[in-house]
Every structure is written in C-alpha cells, then in structure tokens.
Amino acid sequence: MARNKRASTDEIQELNLTPIMNMVVILIPLLLLSIVFLEVSVINITAPKLSVGPSQPVEQEDPTEKLNLTVAVGAKGFEIGATGAILPQKPGCPVPGPTICLSKQNVDVTAKFTRARELFNAGNMVEGEGVLKEALDAYNWVELYNTLARIKTEYKDETVMKISADPDIPYAAIVRVMDVARFRLEKDTYSKSSEFWTASYKKSGTGQEELFPDPVLAVAQ
Amino acid sequence: MSEHHFDEEEEQHLLEQREREAKREKRSGRREEPAGALSMNSLMDIMTIILVFLLKNYGDEPIKVIGEDLKAPESVSELGPEDMTTITVSQKAILVNNAKAVDVKNGAVDKSQKKGGEASLNIQPLFDELTEAIKKKKRETKLLGQTYEPTATIIADQGTPYRLLTEVMYTAGQAELSQFKFAVVKTDRKAFVAE
C-alpha cells in the first residue's frame, strides 16, 4: 500500500482529458452532419430589359452587325432565332415545330416537369430530381451545341445570347442551356450524347475558347 | 517441480489476483502504462485537427444552395460566389437575405400579392423587402467606403418555373438591381451524360 501511494505522488499530474474528449466526440459528428460538401459557383446574368417603354438608351452598335441570337426553350425543343429570322428546322423533326426538336420524341417533358414539381412539393427530393433529369435528357443538347458552334464560327465577336422559355420550363433547363453555350469544345460537331458530355473544352491561350458566355434572360409572356 | 506450480487451483488463484490488480489499477487511474498500449494523446491530436478543419469549413460557405425545400441546379460554371444581397427562391417561399418575403405555392406567387393583377410581373412584398435590403446595403457600403454595385445573387430551386424566375428578376429590376448572379452547384460535364 505504501509503495502505491508514493508511486502516485511521484507521477506527473496529467490533465484529465475525458470531458474534452467527450465534447470533441460530440462536436465532430455534429459538424460533419451540418457540412454540405458542395462547391458553389455562380453564373453572371444580365437582367432582361423589359421595363415598359424605351427607358434605357439603345446601345450604340451597328444594327447590321448585331446578331441578336435567341434560344427559346419550349416543351418540344429549342427554337433558335437571330435578327428576326428563325433558323430552318433540323431534318427529321416534325414540321410545325421548333428548330431543334427533342432527341427522344416520345417523352412528354411537360408531364415530367409537372410530375417532378409535384414530387418536390411532396418533399420527395430524390425521386423528383430523377424525373427532372429524365425530362432534361430528352432534349437534344448535342444538336444545340452543334448549331451554336456553327453560328459562332460565322459571328466571331458575338458573345451575347438571349434565352427565353415557356412559362413552366424549370430553371434547371435554363441553366443547362447556359452551360452548353458557354465554351467551345474540342470538336465543333458531335453526334453522340455520351461523347459530347465527356468532351473537354478547347483551350485558347490561357483560358477556354468562348462560345456565347453572356446570357441575357428574356421575359416569359 | 514446475508441475507443482501450475496446478489448477493455483492457476485459478493467480488469474483472479491478476484480475483484481487490473481492476484496482483501472480505478486509481492509469498508473503505469504498459508498453505498446494505445496512447490517448495521438488520438486527441487527430481529433483536434479534424475539429479545427470542420470548424473552418463550417463558416466558409457564403451562400446556402441546398436545403429542405431548395436545391440549386447543377452547372459547370467556374465563377466563385461573392457575398452580396441574395434572393432565394425555394419551393415554398421567396427570401431576401434569409428573411421571408412571400409564399410560393406550386411554383407561383399568389396573384393577390402582385401589383396590378395576375398578369403582372411585379411581386409587391418582394419589392418592399428588396428595397429595404438595398437601402441597408447602400448604407453599409457607404460606411465602408466602397462603391455600391446593383447586383444580387439569385438562388433558385432547380424546379422553379421560368415564369416565376422572370417575375423575381423583373421585381428586382424595379428595385434597381440590374446584374444577377445565379448560384449553382458546381459539377462536372460528365454528370450530365444520359443513361
């Protein structure tokens, strides 16, 4: 017994870490749960010029030079127009229809968008997102890129693209259009969707070669 | 003679004694750490590092793009977010700098909230809230000696209909905001491949 006592007094007094440990063990899972491992980025948008009347002075630019490229997203596909004219239809599309029709003609995207919204409202984020993705996959993004790349080759100085959409087209589709139109890829035309999405950007100098990186949103009427 | 030492009874006794000793030692705190035992110190170090890392990350995100009724769409944009006036359009409400401005139901604002009927694009409560927020922001920038920029970050749910989005932007335009930044979740192009 005597030996025991002496041994304990000789020992260097150690800090009792148990309560700190307890706290740390609780704090770590708490912080881990609250953290979202997502990177946020932004897209610069110019506001739609839709104030009634000519409140803003018209930009001093040669009207003949201005391309005024407009991409309208609809339930049937994309309608691409420039300076008053609408591009001819892509072969294989139903005749009264948009410039670039859906790549999956049998998909009813409107119904899918509505369904996705219903699922979101019901709090079912995962399933809703799946339906939304299905609907977005029906669009012909590859052909949209091909067309835009072709236009860009002709009008090298244009960077502005107007985006318009049907009133119930979801925000995700608009953002996707901006993504497709931002940079030029390695090739100017793609035929397969998988090839298109895995392609990397074409380098020019220090950055990427631009396509139409300045989207302007137009109002849905 | 060794056989005598290890008969059953004695062995039992020895084991019991050892157990008692171990118990006693445990009770009186670890006195003599046997060599090779796990040291608490290194574990403590790891925990501290993780804790500091997590705490640092915790307050890092200037804007929240994901929540119970909100998920920003995915995009490959590479511009970083900045701290500024935010307009959040979730599935259930529109918020200005995290203060609720107006309710959203089925992807639309109730028409009674709009100035000038259903066809109008002006969401009145949002406009009021925005003007207030901008006034505050202007004061802030003036005090800090910076120049005020009429920009706002819009964080919208991926399912937000285009109509509501334009209404929000129109209202913001009325409140003298002319540049917008859409907050998105950064992703890779490969994530868009259709199955």
- pLDDT per residue as tens digits for the range A164-221: 888 888 888 888 888 888 888 888 888 888 888 888 888 777 777 888 888 888 775 5
- For residue A11, the model assigns a pLDDT of 65
Q: With pLDDT > 70 as the criterion, what percentage of chain A qualifies? A: 81
Q: Is the model's pLDDT at A5 over the cut of 60?
A: no
Question: Could you tell me if B119 lies within 8 Å of chain A, comparing CB atoms?
Answer: no
3-state secondary structure of B102: strand
Residue A113 has pLDDT above 80, yes or no: yes
- Return the axis-axis angle of helices A141-154 and A171-182, rounded to nearest 10°: 40
C-beta atoms of B159 and A172 within 8 A: yes
Q: Is A120 helix (H, G, I), strand (E, B) or coil?
A: helix
| Cβ of residue B153 closer than 8 Å to a chain A Cβ | yes
Q: Model confidence at A115, in pLDDT bands (50, 70, 90)?
A: confident
Q: Identify the H or E element spanning B74.
A: strand B74-75
Rounded Cα distance, A196 and A171, in Å: 22
Task: Give pLDDT, residue B31.
Answer: 52
Q: What pLDDT is stored for residue A4 in this prediction? A: 53
Would you give the end-to-end CA distance of chain B in angstroms? 79
Beta bridge partners of A163: A71, A217
Interface residue B159 vs chain A (CB under 8 A)? yes
- Six token digits for residue A170: 């979801």
Chain A from 13 to 42: CB within 8 A of any B CB: 17, 20-21, 24-25, 27-28, 31-32, 34-36, 38-42
- The CA distance from B56 to the nearest CA of chain A, in Å, is 10
pLDDT tens readout for residues B22-76: 777 666 655 555 555 567 778 888 888 988 888 877 766 667 777 778 888 888 8
Q: Are B73 and B85 in contact (CB under 8 A)?
A: no
Whether residues B44 and A219 touch (CB distance < 8 A) is answered with no
Q: What is the mean pLDDT of chain B?
A: 80
Q: Which of A5-9, A172-176, B9-13, B147-151 has the highest mean pLDDT?
A: A172-176
* Other C-beta atoms lying within 10 Å of the C-beta of residue A195: 13
Residue B163's nearest CA partner among B122, B126, B108, B116 is B108
User: Strand runs (DSSP E) across A25-132, as ranges?
Assistant: 40-46, 69-73, 77-82, 85-86, 100-101
Quick check: B74 and B187 in contact, CB under 8 A?
yes
Determine contact: B177 vs chain A, CB below 8 A.
yes
pLDDT band at B148 (very low <50, low <70, confident <90, very high): confident
Confidence bin at A51 (pLDDT 50/70/90): very low
Q: Which one is predicted more confidently, B1 or B112?
A: B112
**Residue that wins the pLDDT comparison between B9 and A95:** B9
- When mean pLDDT is compared across A141-155, A194-208, B25-39, B101-115, the lowest value belongs to B25-39
Q: Looking at the partner chain, which of B47, B156, B177 has a beta carbon nearest the beta carbon of A24?
A: B47
Which chain B positions have a beta carbon within 8 Å of A200's beta carbon?
Answer: 189
Rg of chain A over CA atoms, in angstroms?
28
Q: Out of A34-48, A125-139, A182-196, B133-147, which region has the weakest mean confidence (pLDDT)?
A: A34-48
Query: Closest to A132 (Cβ–Cβ): which among B158, B172, B185?
Result: B158
- A20-31 confidence digits (pLDDT tens): 888 888 888 888
Per-residue pLDDT band at A9 (split at 50, 70, 90): low
Interfacial B residues in 51-80 facing A (CB < 8 Å): 51, 54-55, 57-58, 61-63, 65-66, 68-69, 71-80
Choose the closest CB to B73 out of A171, A193, A198.
Answer: A171
Q: For residue A54, what pLDDT is reported?
A: 41
The DSSP element (H or E) to which B2 belongs, if any, is: helix B2-5
Question: B65: distance to nearest CA of chain A, Å?
Answer: 7
- In Å, how far from its chain's centre is CA A15? 54
CA atoms of A130 and A124, how far apart (whole Å): 10
- Whole-prediction pTM value? 0.74
Interface size between A and B, measured as CB pairs under 8 A: 202
| Residue among A4, A43, A170 minimizing CB distance to B77 | A43
Give pLDDT tens digits for B151-183: 888 989 888 888 888 888 888 888 888 888 888
More confident residue, A174 or A54: A174
Residue-level pLDDT at A56 = 45
d(CA A191, CA A221): 34
Mutation target for A interface from B166, B167, B186: give the one with most A CBs within 10 A. B166
Residue B86 zone, left/alpha/beta (φ > 0; ψ -120 to 50; rest): beta
A38–B166 C-beta distance less than 8 A: no
pLDDT for A1 beyond 80: no
Q: What is this model's ipTM?
A: 0.75
Determine the pLDDT at residue A48: 63
Question: What is the pLDDT confidence band of residue A58, given thresholds at 50, 70 and 90?
Answer: very low
CA B191 to chain centre: 22
Pairwise CB contact (< 8 Å): B178 & A47:
yes
